[in-house]
C-alpha cells in the first residue's frame, strides 16, 4: 500500500511538472490562462447558472487539453526529428491547428453563454 501511495504522489509530481513546463515555455498558455481568468470573473459577476458553468468548464478544459497535447507533440517531434523535415512541420502545424480549433469553439461557447447576460447587465448600467 505504501508503494502504491508513493507512486501516486510521484505521478502527481510529474503531472504538475508538466503543467509548470507548459506555463513556463508556451506563450499561448498565458493567453489561455488570461482568458480562463477573464471568463471566470465574468461568470461570477454575471451570476451564471450551473449549466452555463459546465459549458464554460468543458470549453476551457478542451483548450487546455489541446495546448498540453500540442506541447507534448512538439517535444516528441523535436526529439524524433532534430533537423527540419517536411513531416515534422506537418505534425507541428496540425497540432497548432487543433489548439486553434479548440480556442475558436471555446470563444463561440463563451460568447453564447456570457454574451446575453453581459449585454443585459451593461444595458442596466446605462
**Could you list the active site residues?**
67
Contacts of 121 (CB under 8 A, 6+ apart): 45, 46
State the virtual CA torsion across 42, 48, 52, 57 in degrees, nearest 10: 40
C-alpha cell at 28: 499561448
Q: Residue 110: which of 44, 30, 39 has the closest Cα?
A: 39
User: ∠24-29-111 over CA atoms, to 5°?
Assistant: 160
Amino acid at each position: 500500500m505504501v508503494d502504491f501511495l508513493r507512486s501516486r504522489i510521484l505521478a502527481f509530481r510529474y503531472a504538475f511538472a508538466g503543467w509548470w513546463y507548459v506555463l513556463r515555455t508556451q506563450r499561448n498558455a498565458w493567453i489561455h490562462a488570461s482568458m480562463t481568468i477573464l471568463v471566470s470573473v465574468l461568470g461570477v459577476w454575471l451570476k451564471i447558472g450551473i449549466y452555463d458553468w459546465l459549458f464554460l468548464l468543458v470549453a476551457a478544459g478542451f483548450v487546455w487539453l489541446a495546448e498540453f497535447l500540442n506541447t507534448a507533440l512538439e517535444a516528441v517531434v523535436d526529439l524524433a526529428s532534430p533537423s527540419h523535415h517536411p513531416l515534422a512541420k506537418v505534425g507541428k502545424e496540425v497540432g497548432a491547428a487543433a489548439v486553434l480549433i479548440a480556442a475558436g469553439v471555446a470563444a463561440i461557447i463563451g460568447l453564447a453563454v456570457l454574451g446575453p447576460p453581459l449585454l443585459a447587465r451593461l444595458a442596466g448600467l446605462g
